[in-house]
Amino acid sequence: MSFTTTLTYALPHRYLSSLARRLAYSQHPGTRRWLINTVVQRFGVDLSEAANPDPASYASFNAFFTRALREGARVPDPDPRALVMPADGHISQCGPIEAGRIFQAKGQSFTVAELLGDAKDAEPFLDGSFATVYLSPRDYHRVHMPWTGTLRETVHVPGRLFSVGTAAVSKVPRLFARNERLVCHFDTDFGPMVQVMVGALLVSGVETVWSGEEIPAYGDRIQRKDWRGQGITLQRFEEMARFNYGSTVIVLLPRGVAELEPSLHAESPVRLGQRLATRTAD
């Protein structure tokens, strides 16, 4: 095991993420300005796409990091059969779920049941398909709906907060099934669909459009929330949630409902709204 990988295990994940949270929400002018300018310059953030392109006007680094896009900066694929990409970033992996396992990287994989925190919840997806999208610090950090769905349940699965960068993903076994995450179950006209918001080192929170902040508070047991009957329906391409720092979203689809866009592969750069898959089932 390399020194970097050993350090990944040894780091105080939650302490560092709590510290990052305090910094991200700080409204101290010097702290706010330094954090925003550092990210803009180091990662080449394109502020011309932001609804508010003035970095000095944001009240905190978190307000800047979760900034909205200007109208028209992203548009959904015009084909009504297209399931759309939920976020900007790049594909970590995508493809079929084989024997209930999701490919991670370099021989690493994990089960759908491990990811969702429940074997029964995993059953509709055991031979379906998946797409894992990594959002880097330069990207737009709001996650949208690939397809119209009605929220059924959310499951907060506590865990570690490993980095989700390429190096960690290739070396840490079952990383996405070990990190803290929010599993969002939707009912659609083709059946169930899941979007998993995976936390990561220095991710100070996940917020949803229906209930606000979901992570933290950090917990030590799985917590389920039943949203059935509350009429929370989100349209294709509509905003669903946001990361308060960069991380990963995983989309799960049942077998036979859609075919993943064949041009997508590991490390493909992607943009919100482009074609993720094409609907095949009525």
CA distance 234 to 180: 24
Among residues 144, 156, 185, 204, the one annotated as catalytic is 144
Q: Determine the straight-line distance between the first and last CA of the chain, rounded to whole angstroms.
A: 49
- Closest by alpha carbon to 8, among 166, 155, 147? 166
Q: In which residue are the tokens 């330094």 written?
A: 34
CA distance 256 to 279: 9
State residue 241 phi and psi, 5-degree precision.
-160, 175
Query: Would you call 28 a catalytic residue per the annotation?
Result: no
- Closest by alpha carbon to 87, among 217, 214, 196? 196
CA distance 282 to 262: 21
| DSSP per residue, 175-241 | GGGTB-EEEEEEEETTEEEEEEEE--TT---EEETTTEEEE-S--SS-EEEE-TTS--EE-TT-EEE
b/e burial code for range 129-162 (CB count within 10 A of at least 16 → b): bbbbbbbbbbbbbbbbbbbebbbbbbbbbbbbbb
- Closest by alpha carbon to 21, among 149, 177, 213? 213
Helices (H), the chain: 3-10, 13-25, 29-43, 61-65, 112-116, 119-122, 166-171
Among residues 88, 92, 129, 163, the one annotated as catalytic is 88
Query: Would you call 226 a catalytic residue per the annotation?
Result: no
Query: Would you call 18 a catalytic residue per the annotation?
Result: no
CA distance 206 to 202: 12
- Supply the residues annotated as catalytic: 88, 144, 247
